[in-house]
Structure 1
Amino acid sequence: MKKLQLLQQLRESGVVAVLRGDSPEEVVRMAESAIEGGIKAIEVTMTVPFALEAITALAKKYHSAEPSGADYAMIGVGTVLDPETARAAIMAGAEFVVSPCLNPDTVKLCNRYRVPVMPGAITIQEIVAALELGVDVVKLFPGSLFSPSIVPTIKGPLPQANVMPTGGVSLANLGEWVKAGVFGVGIGSDLTKEAVAKGDFSLIADKARAYMESYRKAKAES
């Protein structure tokens, strides 16, 4: 049941903050600011040094709150390339697993623990392979290679596929992606680069608010 609840919460949240940084402390600060701005799904990438420390710290802080409360957020892990990394992250507190590619053993591991897994795919063949393994959401990556029109093109032959573009999603095109029928979107450097450059993490909260406002508006219009 928890997996189904997490998938529903991910769909309702709509926007996943994909966070990369130079230290776990920096990523925790990024996540706190994004959550303050209203983004309720955080993906800590395994490219962050000591990433599991950040996942554990965030999970301890945000998982104890009620899912409907302002202090709750889903903490997941990204850039997972193998099942060993997926299990380590799950044990550290990750509630969902994201990968840039499709690794069958990683999917099987996540299914064993009833954890949502979102592997990257770029072709119809990869998406079908993911569906056959029991994947609930496919990460369209890199999304920057496509326009939002790719979503209905995919859903023509595969209406059952839940697609989440990551990479290339911005405030300028977020509404188009949502109206095209995506499950949700992943937001990367656009959320954090200005804040890091200026050393002002409050800018992440401001940008998160803008993303959530744009997302809610597009959902209401779609």
Structure 2
Amino acid sequence: MRLDQIQESGIIAIVRGHQPEDILAIIKALDEGGVRTVEITADTPDVGAVIEQASRQFAGKMLIGAGTVLDPETARMALMAGAKFIFSPTLNLETIRLTKRYGAISIPGVFTPTEMVTAFENGADAVKVFPANVLGPAYIKAVRDPLPQIPMIPTGGVTLDNIVDYFRAGAMAVGLGGALVRKTTKVDSPYLEELKGKAASFVEAVRSVRP
């Protein structure tokens, strides 16, 4: 899978805190709303089976990856289940190397310019700037000026109100958690319709700022 699929999508939807039996319905709603890239967090119960099911059901339509991956062992499990990218909140060089060994997309979590360069020099395809909301879009623009070669995916605190600012600052894509896929104990038809609508709104916002 190529990195430009994530760039074209512009949005990585983060599915966290949901029961395994609800996740396929959530991904379907995201797909119907126009989102094409989904991260299933590694702390999901029976996450390997969930990734495998999602990868099979949405093959050719959605890019399914694993998130909150802290070590190479977890990365390997997710990749064996069918994950096409590894999205991490931290920088672990062995996780990058293992991900690339299996031909998948590596997106480690970074915050400082030094971490960004270290990640990129060790094979990362892009970097997850996390938590992005601490310094906002201005920070992305500031670090993009000296490091334009490093694709950046701000995550944490991205909302419909500021997503355009992040893209104008130079973001390749953004990671969207609770602002898109809010946590709930009841994934029913109203929730899924709301999710589909929010997904469509975020997709439209990305399109509005792209050439």
Q: TM-score w.r.t. structure 1 length?
A: 0.90
The structure 2 residue matched to 1:87, chosen from 73, 76, 79, is 76
Which residue matches 1:32?
A: 28
TM-fit CA distance, 1:124? 1.0
| C-alpha separation in 1, matches of 2:137 and 2:117 | 20
CA deviation digits over 1:19-66, x for unaligned, max 9?
013321122221111111100000000121111221111101111x3x
Deviations 1:144-166 (CA, angstroms, capped at 9, x unpaired): 11211112211222121110001
1:1-222 alignment, distance < 5 Å: 3=1, 6-63=2-59, 65=60, 72-193=61-182, 199=188, 200-220=191-211
Offset of residue 197 of structure 1: 6.5
CA distance in 1, matches of 2:12, 2:119: 20
Aligned length: 209
Any stretches of 5+ residues in structure 2 without a counterpart? none
Q: Which letter maps to 2:153? A: M
CA distance in 2 between counterparts of 1:49 and 1:14 reads 27
Give the gaps of 5 or more residues in structure 1: 66-71
- Post-superposition offset of 1:198: 7.8
Task: Give the letter for the 2:50 counterpart.
Answer: A
Among all aligned residue pairs of Structure 1 and Structure 2, give the percentage whose two residues are the same amino acid.
Answer: 37
Alignment-mate amino acid for residue 87 of structure 1: R
Instruction: Please state whether the residue corresponding to 1:164 is helix, strand or coil.
Output: strand
Question: For 1:60, what is the secondary structure of its paired residue?
Answer: helix
Query: Contact conserved, 2:17 with 2:183, CA < 8 A, in 1?
Result: no
Q: TM-score, normalised by structure 2?
A: 0.94
Q: Higher helix proportion, which one?
A: 1
- Please say which of residues 196-205 and 210-219 is displaced more in the overlay: 196-205
Alpha-carbon deviations, 1:156-198, whole Å to 9, x = none?
A: 2212111000110000001111111111001001112277668
2:35 and 2:199 in contact (8 A); partners too? yes
- The 3 A distance-change label for structure 1 pair 85 and 15 is same
In angstroms, what is the RMSD of aligned CA positions? 1.5
Aligned amino acid, residue 10 of structure 1: I
The answer to whether the 8 Å contact 1:121/1:140 transfers is yes
